[in-house]
Amino acid sequence: MDGSSIEELELVLGAIDGFEDLAVELQTRLVGVPAISPESGGTGELAKFESFQQALSELIVLDAVERIDAHDPRAEGGVRPNLVGVWSAAPVRETIGQETFAPETPGRTLPRTFWLIAHLDVVPARQEEGWDHDPFTLARRGRQLHGRGAEDDHQGVCSILLAIKALQVLDRRPACDIGVIFVSDEETGNEFGLEFVQATRPELVSSRDVVWLPDGGTPDGAQVQVADKSLLMLRLRIHAPRARSFRPDQGVNCARVAAHLTVRLEELHRIHDRVDSLFRPSTCTFEPMHWEPVETEWGSLPDEEIFHLDCRLLPGVDHNAVVRSVRRIAREEARRWNVAIEVEIVHAEDVPPPCSLDPALTEIACRAVRRAHGVEGEAIGVGIVAFAQEMRKRGIPVIVHQRIDGMAHEVNEYCNLDNLLGDAKVLAMTLHEYLFRD
């Protein structure tokens, strides 16, 4: 970084240090209005959305803002509102999602839009569940801001707004569009939130963009999550004619078959042996689990065993190939023991394409984590944030990052103010180095 970039960055980070009161004000406002989906007994997000939109317009300057309402007669006002906004690279633009004419920097290809996405809805909370205060009134205790949604996902919402506000101190435009999307309905399936936005405006977020999703992380903030494994869940049922336990020679003990079968399934690690150091662990995993209760009779050998095989597959590993391997092993064991073994697919996700993130961006984010949170940032694949998984399956590069105390959905949920401000710094530093350097 040259001298002027360093000076600029100090200005941006200094601005965020000064935003502590703003963060508390914003959290007070967000916690103060419940936004709970009708499925969970709430009235939707409209009131909170309107209060939030007002706050947003007071805090940051966007070139275009659009409200995308999903129709839902069960909700207040009959809608589930979503907000899309853009701070554009070019000074004037007419509508969101069209081509921009940002000057190309030689030697690197920038995304079309760098999207920042968070959700406004929260899960229900009642004081009777054991809250030590009204969950919808913010309570500050030292560095902790207590209230429903304070961490999930107000921390993400606030870090986005504060990062943009800090960057706007510079009075410059980014090298590509920076977009924001604040959605409803994340906690109950996204149908009226991100999925609706993507269905009605498919051109908005595409594989040419990058998405930053502050809605998941670890207590030290080290993880920069960039990729997913896909889940394949199989159900295996072994059965045989029933035999008495004092004449095992006349039948088959399915518990013994199950033991041998689960050991044989270890072979899957050798057959599907791809390694990707982005992931923990770096291989596909195949775990027998969820043994179903079966009917047993005193004095009879087990004539049925049912379990599931939880397979977490690396990008590029085809689940059909894994199913074929499992079926072949099951067939061989069935023949060996003279039993029937059925293999049923319970859940199979599309195989996500390999991570398409710009490695330079990942490095920048990891450096920002070190500076803001004091830990070595580490780009990894985990595959737990559904929101991100869906987008990655469509080829959209997504980074998930937060430093959290893990209070999402908990009684007495809180957000640690230092996590919030630190996350705003990680985001602002990343955007600054990626999009504001000449």
Q: How far apart are CA 370 and CA 290, in angstroms?
A: 40
Q: Which range binds Zn ion by CB under 5 A, 7-15, 152-160, 348-356, 376-384? A: 152-160
Kindly tell me which of 8 and 215 has the beta carbon lying closer to Zn ion: 215
Question: Considering the complex, what minimum distance in angstroms separates the CB of residue 329 from Zn ion?
Answer: 39
Residue 149: closest CA among 124, 130, 127: 124
Kindly tell me which of 152 and 304 has the beta carbon lying closer to Zn ion: 152
Question: Considering the complex, what minimum distance in angstroms separates the CB of residue 80 from Zn ion?
Answer: 16
Kindly tell me which of 197 and 341 has the beta carbon lying closer to Zn ion: 197
Q: Where are the alpha helices (DSSP H) in 246-318?
A: 254-264, 267-271
Of 205-244, which residues contact Zn ion (CB under 5 A)?
Answer: 215
Residue 152 sits in the site that holds Zn ion (CB under 5 A): yes
Kindly tell me which of 111 and 383 has the beta carbon lying closer to Zn ion: 383
Size of the site for Zn ion (CB under 5 A): 3
Question: Considering the complex, what minimum distance in angstroms separates the CB of residue 134 from Zn ion?
Answer: 21
Kindly tell me which of 123 and 339 has the beta carbon lying closer to Zn ion: 123
Kindly tell me which of 253 and 402 has the beta carbon lying closer to Zn ion: 402
Q: How far apart are CA 393 and CA 42, in angstroms?
A: 31
Half-sphere exposure of 13 toward its Cβ, with a 13 Å CA cutoff?
16
Q: How far apart are CA 433 and CA 114, in angstroms?
A: 13
Q: How far apart are CA 389 and CA 375, in angstroms?
A: 26
Question: Considering the complex, what minimum distance in angstroms separates the CB of residue 121 from Zn ion?
Answer: 9
Residue 423 sits in the site that holds Zn ion (CB under 5 A): no
**b or e along 92-130 (b: 16 or more beta carbons within 10 Å of the residue's beta carbon)?**
ebeebbeeeebeeeeeeebbbbbbbbbbbbbbebeeeee
Of 153-182, which residues contact Zn ion (CB under 5 A)?
Answer: 153
- CB contact at 8 A, 212 and 125: no
Q: Which range binds Zn ion by CB under 5 A, 51-59, 130-138, 144-152, 304-312? A: 144-152
Kindly tell me which of 84 and 213 has the beta carbon lying closer to Zn ion: 213
Question: Considering the complex, what minimum distance in angstroms separates the CB of residue 117 from Zn ion?
Answer: 11
Cα-based distances in Å from 156 to 120, 207, 213, 400: 10, 23, 8, 10
Residue 45 sits in the site that holds Zn ion (CB under 5 A): no
Question: Considering the complex, what minimum distance in angstroms separates the CB of residue 30 from Zn ion?
Answer: 13
Residue 97: closest CA among 191, 196, 185, 208: 208
Question: Considering the complex, what minimum distance in angstroms separates the CB of residue 44 from Zn ion?
Answer: 17
- CB contact at 8 A, 136 and 147: yes
Q: What is the token pair recorded at 86? A: 């853009």
Write out the H or E segment, with its range, that includes residue 145: strand 144-146
Contact pattern for Zn ion over residues 245 through 264, marking x by CB under 5 A: --------------------
Q: Which range binds Zn ion by CB under 5 A, 58-66, 107-115, 151-159, 203-211? A: 151-159
Residues that bind Zn ion (CB under 5 A): 152-153, 215
